Amino acid sequence: MNAPLVHSLEARYYTDPEIFAQEMSGLLARTWQLAGHVSQVRETGDYFAFEIAGESLFCIRGRDGEIRAFYNVCQHRAHQLVQGTGNTRVVVCPYHAWTYELTGQLRAGPNIKSVPGFDRDKICLTEVRCEDFNGFIFVNLDPDTVPMDEWFPGVRDEIRAYVPNIDALAPLEWVEIRENCNWKVSVENYSECYHCPINHQTFAEGVVKPETYDIQPDAGGGYVLRHTTECQALDQMSYPIDMSVPHAGDYQSWFLWPMVSFQCYPGNVLNTYHWRAHDVDHCTVWRGWYTEGGVESEVVRALAVQDRETTVEEDIHLVESVYRGLKSKGYKPGPLVLDPKCGVNSEHSIERLQQWMREAVDG
Ligand code: FES
Ligand SMILES: [Fe+2]
């Protein structure tokens, strides 16, 4: 007897604003999200503000060298503390000038000493869980969450093996791409290559061998989808590759649920995707490219431009069309193509992603 067909997720998971609200307060506030890169906070007092799950937050480097993340809200009467990026000796609230140490501890405030029983030591900014993952700063709004190495077993070291100079890297560019679709449509599109041979000519002819592309939902465990493939003839790549470096001839990507992916191109070239959900119908994808110290590189810049003009551009049209379709009364969720042998023409990764998506909403 054949097992029943597995159908794609019902359209309401992508289009219903109530489900989106549930994800914002639940899933996106309880998972590890990419906030930035350590190169943005090299010096004591360097900070940058960012938003996760509808919350304004900021990262700042302390005098002890620690990078901490805080909610961007004053503990007096809730004014926002910092904007954008900068460097500061102490964090000063623009409303009544309460000042905080870089550890978040309240240090001073006009006339607070006049208040009988005012205990300065009891007041501290609300800290957020924060991890340095190979130089990438991740935060998780759930104070009880487990460390990234438990969510994504082995991935930290696997990436280091593919990108041996990762500690020296800094972003060369982070290109922001707006997409008119629910974030899950974009993440699913990233997570299967069943559409690659007919939609991504450059990627499928210039980088990977689509017939060998595979996404393994189960390899290594955890909330990770590992993409592997053989590459096209390396001597025909558009840039020179030093084959003496381990994994120089390989391609791999690690998608970390729910919205970050590290990719390594032949030649040990790191690049990343990360997403932010804005509302039920809009998300942003950041495409990141890196070099040592973030210095200009013709090779990496050319790769980034080519990728943006081909794969990224091609995907925008795909995901926006899918999203219009999910809002159509004429759509009934179709069966996923689950080839028991897996491979590029199978949607095993979509089955796994949609299982996580359902669990996030339905428990
Ligand atoms: S709200 Fe920040 S000092 Fe008053
Ligand atoms: Fe694609």
Nearest ligand, measured from the Cα of 191: 2
If one counts every other C-beta atom within 10 angstroms of the C-beta of residue 363, the result is: 6
DSSP per-residue letters across 133-188: ETTEEEEES-TTPPPHHHHSTTHHHHHHHH-TTGGGEEEEEEEEEEESS-HHHHHH
Domain final residue, candidates 144, 171, 197: 144
Question: Is 74 in contact with 81 (CB distance < 8 Å)?
Answer: yes
pLDDT for position 240? 83
Give me the tens of pLDDT residue by residue for the chain, a chain 363 residues long: 677 899 999 999 999 999 999 999 999 999 999 999 999 999 999 999 999 999 999 999 999 999 999 999 999 999 999 999 999 999 999 999 999 999 999 999 999 999 999 999 999 999 999 999 999 999 999 999 999 999 999 999 999 999 999 999 999 999 999 999 999 999 999 999 999 889 998 878 877 787 888 887 777 789 999 988 888 777 777 788 888 999 888 889 999 999 999 999 989 999 999 999 999 999 999 999 999 999 999 999 999 999 999 999 999 999 999 999 999 999 999 999 999 888 889 999 999 999 999 999 998
Residue nearest atom 4 of ligand 1, based on CA coordinates:
96
Nearest to 152 by CA among 238, 60, 265, 253: 253
- Same domain (yes/no): 132, 87: yes
Q: Give, for ligand 1, the residue of 91, 96, 126 to mutate: max count of ligand atoms closer than 8 Å to Cβ.
A: 96
- The verdict on 79 and 172 lying in the same domain is no
**Could you tell me the distance, in angstroms and rounded to a whole number, from the CA of residue 1 to the centre of ligand 2?**
35
CA distance 27 to 181: 18
Residue 173 burial by Cβ neighbours in a 10 Å radius (0-12, 13-18, 19+): middle
74, 95: one domain: yes
Of ligand 1's listed atoms, the one at least distance from the Cα of 98 is 3
User: Tokens 């938003």 map to which residue?
Assistant: 51
286 plus 313 within the same structural domain: yes
Query: Is the backbone peptide bond immediately before 258 cis, with ω within 30 degrees of 0?
Result: yes
74 CA closest ligand 1 atom index: 2
What is the domain-level CATH number for residue 8?
Answer: 3.90.380.10
Helix H or strand E encompassing 321: helix 313-326
- 73 C-alpha to center of ligand 1: Å? 9
**Radius of gyration of the chain from its Cα atoms, rounded to whole angstroms:** 22
My answer on whether 245 and 350 are in the same domain is yes
Residue with tokens 């990141």: 288
Among 144, 163, 189, the domain-final residue is 144
Q: What are phi and psi of 361, to 5 degrees?
A: -100, -40
CA distance 91 to 61: 12
Asked whether residue 214 falls in the same domain as residue 165, the answer is yes
pLDDT for position 1: 66
Backbone angles phi, psi at 93, to 5 degrees: -75, 130
Residue from 72, 73, 77 to probe ligand 1 pocket by mutation (most atoms less than 8 Å from CB): 77
pTM: 0.95
Statement to judge: residues 201 and 328 lie in one domain: yes
Q: Which ligand is nearest to the CA of 93?
A: 1
Residues 8 and 47 occupy one common structural domain: no
Among 56, 71, 75, 79, which residue has the most ligand 1 atoms within 8 Å of its CB, making it the best to mutate? Answer: 79
Could you tell me the CA-to-CA distances from 172 to 70, 76, 82, 235, 299 in Å, in that order? Answer: 26, 39, 25, 25, 11
With a Cβ cut-off of 6 Å, ligand 1 is lined by: 74, 76-79, 93, 95-96, 98
The closest residue, in CA terms, to atom 1 on ligand 1 is 77
Burial of 334: CB neighbours in 10 Å, binned 0-12, 13-18, 19+: exposed
> What is the number of the ligand closest to the CA of 77?
1
Domain limits for position 113 = 33-144
Our count of domains for the chain comes to 2
Cα separation of 125 and 283, whole Å? Answer: 29
Q: Measured in angstroms, how far is the CA atom of residue 93 from the centroid of ligand 1?
A: 6
Structure tokens at 46: 């360097």
Distance 255 CA to ligand 2 centre (A): 14
Do 207 and 78 share a structural domain? no
For residues 309 and 169, membership in a common domain is answered with yes
Are 15 and 38 in a shared domain? no
**Are both 212 and 343 inside the same structural domain?**
yes
Supply the pLDDT for residue 151. 97
